Structure formats: C-alpha cells, structure tokens
C-alpha cells in the first residue's frame, strides 16, 4: 500500500469502505477528533486516508485550513485534492516554497477546482512564486474571486504581476494590507484597475505606507470609465488633506462607482471635511459608507460635514467619526442637520469623543423622531 500513488490508495479506501474494513480510516478519524493530527507524523497511506475522509465530508470542503492538519509543505502537497475541492483555502503563516506555488497554480487553473477564496497572508512571496500564482489566476478556468496577500513582503515586480492579473482574471476582492507599497507600486496597480477587463470590486490597502502622491494614481483609476471598484480601504496611511483633496475630485466623477471609503487614521484635519462635504453634496457621488475615524477633524470639520448632510443629494448610510475630537458643539451641529433633513443616514459612530451629556442627549432624543432614518448611534467609551 505504501508504494501506490495517492489516487489509487484513495480508490482502495473506497473499496475497503464498501467491505466495512475501515481500520486505517478510523485511526485517522480518532486523530482528527483528538486534535493530535497536527503533531502526528503520518505515513503516505495515512495521508491518503485523511484525504479520503475529508473528500467524503461536505462540511470539511467549505473551508480548508492547513494549520488544522500541519502547517507544512508536505501536508499541503499531500492534501492538494482537498484544496482543489474546497471553496476557501487558508494558508497563512506557512512559509511555503516555490514548488508549492507551482502546485497551487495548477490547482487554480484546473477545471475541477472549486476554490473561490485563497488567503496567503503572512507568507513572504518571492517574485517567482507570485509569477506562478499569477499564471494560475489568469487561467480562463480559474474561479477565484478573493485573494488575500496581507503582509507578504511584496516587491515592485510583484505588482507588475498583480496588475497583469487584474487585467485578465475574475478577481472581485484583493487584500494587500500591511505591505510596503510606494507610489510606483500604486501606479502599477492603478493601471490594472483602469483596464476594461478588470472586475475588482474591493481593494484593501490599509497600513501600506501610502502617501498623498499615491492618491493621484488611485484617483485616476476611480474616475476611469471602466472602474468597477465599490469598496476602497485606505485606513492608517499618511494621505493627509492633500491626498483626500485629490481623491475627492474622482469621487465626484460620473464614472466613479465607489460606495465605501475607509480613511481612518490618515492624518486628516477639518480641511479634508471641506472636500468631502463637496463630495457628499454632489449628485454624482455613489458613496454610501464613509469612515473618518481617528482623525483630528474637530467640531469645525463636523460642521462642514453637517452642511453636506442637509443636501438633498446626500446618499450616505453610514458615517464613522470615532476618535475625532468632537465636543458638544459638533454634536449639536449634527443633530441640527439631521433634524432639518433626516436624509439617508442610518448609522452614526461618535464613540471616543467628548460629546458631553447634553450633546448625546440631543442626538439620542432625535432617535425617537419617526421622521429620522437613523437607527444606530454609537457613543460608548467616550473620553472626557
């Protein structure tokens, strides 16, 4: 049994199962139940028994998490038939080599693959490894729509490959958070986003060391006639007011389809609120959710946003202003704006501010007004 190929051993297990002889399968099942499997050294036959068990269980084919079995290359290569049959594959913190990415490329390009989500976060990807991965992603048979590459030490060449992927794949969601991404990399990425073939809806670039200059390339992509982006996460980057000013121009473009923009911790001041107020008052804006948390907007910034809130073109459903140094004065402006125009706002986050008892009382009282659409108001953990 030890010298037979894995596929033949799996077929043998099917035969043994029909003959009610499943001793090896039962042994592996006991290891699974006890949690010992990630520590056990399995023989080829035992690996095949595990593959047989997992392929026989629909529950195990929803999410494949390598660490459940053993975060090693041998485990992944042995379990490739399970990876191919699974909807989601979690391969984080696994220190994978080039031969694994070559195998993954083959899985992604297989007509039989069911994989729609792949998480490779916290692996250091070399250029050659990402090229293998890109080859599989660009295969017309590839069904993957979500790729997570958070903290993968990506290089400029990596972004050349990713830009090419965006032009010729089915990707809908790409997570590149926690990578050192500079202006040149953003330009490469944006050129892929501007491709008429790009189908990406969600892009995550939080904690990426982006600067205000990066916003120029992103702005060009957002206002492109072929743009399909619905959600953009730029949290915790040093974009500053000039970066938001650049983005605001594209957000008012009739071609921009962005509905969710996250700008938490981007070193913004009340000056950004002036540009964003213009966006939120614009008839052509598609924004439905805006996160401005952890920026020094202060009451003066909130007053500018409140002015936009009174516009008949306001479409925003969710506004996050947590930790923005807002006091009772800012809360009063918001309450007044909401009273004069209930608008579309459904969720407002004012946690970690200084609203004072009267400020929160004023806003809370308005929740009882049947004309208001606001149904969620957060103000817990207030400071001051």
Q: Is 345 or 165 the better-scoring residue by pLDDT? A: 165
Q: What is the CA radius of gyration of the chain?
A: 25
What confidence category does residue 29 fall into, taking pLDDT thresholds of 50, 70 and 90?
Answer: confident
Q: Is 343 or 19 the better-scoring residue by pLDDT? A: 343
What confidence category does residue 21 fall into, taking pLDDT thresholds of 50, 70 and 90?
Answer: very low
Tell me the pTM. 0.90
Measured in whole angstroms, the distance separating CA 291 from the mean position of its chain's CA atoms is 15
Sign, Cα dihedral of 330, 331, 332, 338: positive
What confidence category does residue 58 fall into, taking pLDDT thresholds of 50, 70 and 90?
Answer: low
Average pLDDT over residues 185-210: 95
Among 245, 247, 292, residue whose Cα is nearest residue 266: 292
What confidence category does residue 1 fall into, taking pLDDT thresholds of 50, 70 and 90?
Answer: very low
What confidence category does residue 355 fall into, taking pLDDT thresholds of 50, 70 and 90?
Answer: confident
What is the percent of the chain with per-residue pLDDT over 90, rounded to a whole number?
62
Mean pLDDT, all residues of the chain: 87
Structure token pair of residue 297: 């907007």
Give the list of residues 6+ apart from residue 5 with CB closer than 8 angstroms, or none.
none
Q: Is 284 or 6 the better-scoring residue by pLDDT? A: 284
Assess contact for 80 and 107: CB atoms under 8 A.
yes
């Amino acid at each position: 049994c030890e010298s037979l190929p894995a596929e033949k051993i799996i077929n043998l297990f099917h035969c043994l199962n029909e003959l009610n002889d499943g001793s090896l399968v039962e042994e592996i099942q006991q290891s699974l139940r006890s949690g010992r499997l990630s520590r056990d050294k399995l023989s080829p036959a035992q690996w095949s028994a595990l593959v047989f068990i997992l392929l026989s269980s629909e529950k195990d084919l929803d999410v494949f998490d390598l660490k459940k079995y053993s975060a090693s290359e041998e485990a992944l290569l042995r379990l490739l038939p399970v990876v191919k049959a699974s909807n989601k594959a979690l391969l984080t913190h696994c220190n994978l080599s080039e031969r694994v990415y070559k195998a993954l490329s083959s899985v992604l390009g297989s007509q039989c693959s069911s994989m729609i989500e792949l998480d490779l976060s916290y692996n250091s990807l070399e250029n050659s490894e990402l090229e293998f991965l890109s080859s599989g992603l660009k295969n017309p048979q590839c069904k993957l729509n979500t790729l997570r590459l958070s903290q993968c030490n990506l290089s400029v060449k990596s972004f050349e490959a990713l830009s090419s992927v965006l032009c010729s794949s089915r990707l809908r969601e790409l997570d590149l958070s926690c990578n050192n991404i500079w202006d040149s990399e953003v330009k490469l990425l944006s050129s892929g986003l501007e491709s008429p073939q790009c189908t990406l809806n969600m892009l995550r670039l939080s904690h990426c060391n982006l600067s205000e200059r990066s916003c120029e390339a992103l702005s060009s992509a957002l206002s492109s006639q072929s743009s399909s982006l619905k959600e953009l996460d730029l949290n915790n980057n040093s974009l500053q007011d000039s970066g938001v000013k650049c983005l605001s121009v594209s957000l008012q473009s009739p071609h921009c389809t962005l509905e969710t923009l996250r700008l938490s911790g981007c070193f913004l001041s009340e000056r950004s609120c002036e540009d964003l107020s213009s966006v939120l008052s614009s008839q052509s804006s598609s924004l439905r959710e805006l996160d401005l948390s952890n920026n020094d907007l202060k009451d003066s910034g909130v007053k500018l946003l409140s002015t936009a809130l009174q516009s008949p073109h306001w479409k925003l459903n969710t506004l996050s202003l947590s930790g923005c140094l807002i006091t009772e004065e800012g809360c009063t402006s918001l309450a007044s704006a909401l009273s004069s125009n209930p608008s579309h706002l459904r969720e407002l986050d004012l946690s970690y501010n200084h609203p004072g008892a009267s400020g929160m009382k004023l806003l809370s009282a308005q929740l009882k007004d049947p004309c208001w659409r606001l149904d969620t108001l957060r103000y817990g953990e207030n400071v001051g």
